[in-house]
Chain A
Amino acid sequence: MDALTVKNVSKIYSEHKALDNVSLTIPEKTIFGLLGPNGAGKTTLIRIINQIINADSGEVLVFGEKLKPNHIEIIGYLPEERGLYKKMKVGDQLLYLAQLKGLSRADALAKIKIWLEKFEIKDWWHKKVEDLSKGMAQKVQFISTVLHEPKLIILDEPFSGFDPVNAQLITEKILELKENGSTIIFSTHRMETVESLCDHIALINKSKKILEGSKKEVKEQYRSNTFLVEHRGNHFTLPADKYQVKSQTKIEDDLFSTTIQAVNGIKGNQVIRDLVDITELYSFQEKLPSMADIFISLVKGEGDDALKKHLQEV
């Protein structure tokens, strides 16, 4: 079953379209990257899913059900603009937020204990939030997001404000949550996070969805059949009807690095076969576009063909 289905959702504010007929499918138990530049409409979409605002048209299904008020109990949301009550104690604060999400008092108390132990911060219960450092407060904020064991977790730029150690800790917890069956939506423009964590992605630009699929599919879609070869000796000739040499650089002595573009239909194995006969191979790899490359070129507004051309040139 899909955790979330967004069907033809539009949202118009007086001056501009925030979302224009956006559809998305987020499979269960995956980490889904919702990408896009600032102002693309990501936050609007997330707020609609969280029922903070309503869509003008279209519908949202959560685990196959039309969005309804008690869905907030199975959603955990960490907004980009986040904060806590400064004067409240950590324990009271978590208890309050958990109860607002529908947990009973006893249930909430038990779960808070477990999470404080997980983060080794049991003695923070009576500390006021204003006495915590920014990183410490972020941990409390993260706990408040996942405390009610939501099946769908929405994290908007979760790593901003974390030092590398804590970012690593949070990453571990996110993977653990996924193992335990939660579906996680990341909204971010940090591509390294997307590369390492996300299974699926969607790219929203100027209120429209312009790309969606599993990470593998997307990379597959934008592969350009370009190969990077290191070899000894720079004199070889490849059949011009199948290959084109894009560039060649000298590494040292007679060790060279060459970028080769193959025509469609020629696979890596074929390229190697053709190469071993004419040169001494040191290394061979297919040049796959990084998520950052795809993101930048799509957002720059180039069409698919232009994108492929751009990717070949990188």
Chain B
Amino acid sequence: MRKIWLIIQREFLTRVQKKSFLITTILVPLIFPAIIGVLVYIMKKEAESAKAETVQVVDESGKFIFENGRRFSFVPLSIPIEQAKKVYNESKDFALLYIPPFDINKPEGMIIYTKENPSIEKVGGLESILQDRIRDLKLEEYKIDKATLKGLKVEVNLKQINLSDTGEEKSSNSGILYGLGFGLGILIYMFVLVYGIQIMQGVIDEKTSKIVEVIVSSVRPFQLMLGKIIGIASVGLLQFTIWIILITVLSTGALGYFGLKMPQKQAMEEVVKQVGDENVKQAMDQQNSRINETLANLGEIRFGKIAFVFVFYFLGGYLLYGALFAAVGSAVESMQESQQFQFPITLPLLIGYLGLFMFILRDPHGSVSFWLSVIPFTSPVAMVGRIAFDVPTWELALSMILLIAGFLFTTWIAGRVYRVGILMTGTKVSWKVLAKWFFMKG
């Protein structure tokens, strides 16, 4: 035991003391808030500094009344278009808009003249101003007022309630559950791959630097393999914990600094300020009650249980695949050579990952979802994706027991291949050779 502990310590310390560990551990959580921060900052600056563009208008139809807005200010010209072009060319204005007489059922012939290629956004802005006005004209023609039109709009939200066996009502929100399942599933998939490859790299390094024979004259190969797997797992857990803490702190800090609240709420307030319309206020109240409901649903989700299940499958999946990665590392002499084995061993993980999108998130209680979340090779991704949707306790217990059995099994197989592989050099490795090593006597 003392020796495994020494190995774990070495694997942990050599990785944690590396500059690259420090850099990735600090930079990754900085990247997300930094990107959000920079984008928000740029958008704010742009909004502040943006001046309204001046647009000269020759309106031959006489149907338009332009109001100066935040983005455009309009200068009506009552001269023929040919003359207006000359005036525009001598001015510094943004554009010249020409509106010929037209039929509102078939608005055609409008032209915008500019000196440079205008952005899609600006052209779109002008187009929507024109469209709004033409629509208003049509409404007038059909004798419909705006209020009637608003009243026609209907929105229905189904409130979801799970009826449990005991008849207890629990409201749920599949949107949140979907997001949670999706996020956690991907996290496990990435963790297993990234750290599994680190194990493999570590084993290959020991083999190619030829220290391995010195080490296995002091410890059993199995101890060396296990120590390495656990050591790297601790690095992963440490890094992960630091990320979560940093991301939480920094995101809160960044959002707080820019004075942002929940994005939807902010947008709503903005609209109310600008329009001050009764209807909108009503809509906002409705929206608010929905936000409150969502928050209430978040409270219903048992985060304690999910966190426990997540950590369990996080470690279980890592150990199961980590052992296989160690076995592959012991057999080959370079990362390139490992490619032929990497894909087959990660295939079940990939199936779990695809199954997450195709079955589990769509139909969490279907039979495919059940099998994916019970079979140890796919369960780390599948069960974590499914857990938010309230999995029956017996299924969870079965899946956990099978996962433990699964990683004991892969560790046993990997250990047998590993003990022979690390001492073999210059062998052309194939699946057949690996099988032979597995059956070889000590």
- Which residues from chain A sit less than 8 Å from chain B, CB to CB? 13-14, 47, 50-54, 56, 72, 75, 77-79, 81-88, 96-97, 99-101, 141, 144
Instruction: Kindly list 20 other residue pairs between chains A and B, CB separation below 8 angstroms, not including A50-B217, A144-B214.
Output: A14-B440, A52-B216, A52-B217, A54-B442, A56-B441, A77-B214, A77-B217, A79-B210, A79-B217, A81-B425, A82-B214, A83-B209, A84-B214, A85-B206, A85-B209, A88-B14, A96-B6, A96-B10, A97-B215, A99-B6
Q: When the two chains form their complex, are residues A97 and B10 in contact, meaning their CB atoms are under 8 A apart?
A: no
In the assembled complex, B123 has its CB within 8 A of some CB on chain A: no
Residues on B with beta carbons closer than 8 Å to the beta carbon of A101: 218
CA distance A78 to B214 in the complex (A): 7
Write out the residue numbers on chain B whose beta carbons fall within 8 Å of the beta carbon of A141. 214
Is B23 part of the contact surface with A, judged by Cβ < 8 Å?
A: no
Contact assessment for B423 and A82 in the assembled complex, using a CB-CB cutoff below 8 Å: no
The residues of B that contact A75 with a CB separation of less than 8 Å are 217
The answer on a CB contact under 8 Å between B210 and A81 is: yes
B211, B423, B425: the one within 8 Å of A52 (CB): B423
Instruction: Name the one of B10, B211, B221 contacting A83, with C-beta atoms under 8 angstroms.
Output: B211
Bitwise, B200-223 to A at CB < 8 A (1) or not (0) is 000001100111011111110100
Residues of A within 8 A of B216 (CB): 52
- Assembly CA distance A97 to B441 (angstroms): 28
Contact across chains for A52 and B213 when beta carbons are under 8 A apart: yes
Q: Which residues of A contact B442 (CB under 8 A)?
A: 53-54
Q: 17 A-B contacts, Cβ less than 8 Å apart?
A: A13-B440, A51-B217, A52-B213, A53-B442, A72-B217, A72-B218, A75-B217, A77-B217, A79-B217, A82-B211, A84-B209, A84-B211, A85-B14, A96-B6, A100-B7, A100-B215, A100-B219
CA distance A79 to B209 in the complex (A): 13
Interface flag for B290 (CB, 8 Å): no
Contact of A54 among B14, B210, B211, B441 (CB under 8 A): B441
B230 to chain A, nearest CB (A): 16
Contact bitstring B416-442, A, C-beta under 8 A = 1, else 0? 000000010100000000001000111
Answer whether residue B51 sits at the interface, using C-beta atoms and an 8 A cutoff: no
Contact at A83–B217, with CB atoms within 8 Å? Answer: no
In the complex with contacts A56-B441, A85-B209, A97-B214 CB distance below 8 A: yes
In the A-B complex, the 3 residue pairs with the smallest Cβ-Cβ separation, listed nearest first, are A83-B210, A100-B218, A54-B442
Task: Give the distance to chain B from A246, nearest Cβ to Cβ, in Å.
Answer: 46
Contacts of A96 in B (CB 8 A): 6, 10
How far apart are the CA atoms of A31 and B314 in the complex, in Å? 54
Are the CB atoms of A81 and B10 closer together than 8 Å? Answer: no
CA distance A56 to B440 in the complex (A): 11
B440 / chain A contacts, CB cutoff of 8 Å: 13-14
- Chain B nearest CB from A128 CB (Å) reads 11
Q: Mark B1-36, 1 if CB is under 8 A from A, else 0.
A: 001001100100010000000000000000000000
* Complex Cα spacing A292 to B387, Å: 73
The distance from the CB of A156 to the nearest CB of chain B, in whole angstroms, is: 9
With a CB–CB cut-off of 8 A, which chain A residues contact B3?
Answer: 100
A87 to B217 Cα, complex, angstroms: 21
With both beta carbons as reference points, the residue of chain B lying nearest to A83 in the complex is identified as: B210
Chain B residues within an 8 Å CB radius of A82: 210-211, 213-214
Cα of A86 to Cα of B6 in the assembled complex, Å: 18
Give the residues in chain A near B218, CB-CB below 8 Å: 72, 97, 100-101
Query: Considering the chains assembled together, what is the distance between the CA atoms of A88 and B442 in angstroms?
Result: 31
The distance in angstroms between the C-alpha atoms of A50 and B221, with both chains bound, is 12
Residues of chain A within 8 A (CB-CB) of B205 are 86
The smallest beta-carbon distance between B430 and chain A, in angstroms, is 15
In the complex, which residues of chain B have a beta carbon less than 8 angstroms from the beta carbon of A88? 14
Among B214, B215, B441, max chain A CB count under 10 A is at B214
Closest to B221 in A: A52
- Taking a contact as CB atoms closer than 8 A, the residue among A72, A81, A100 that contacts B213 in the complex is A81
CB distance from A71 to the nearest CB of B (A): 11
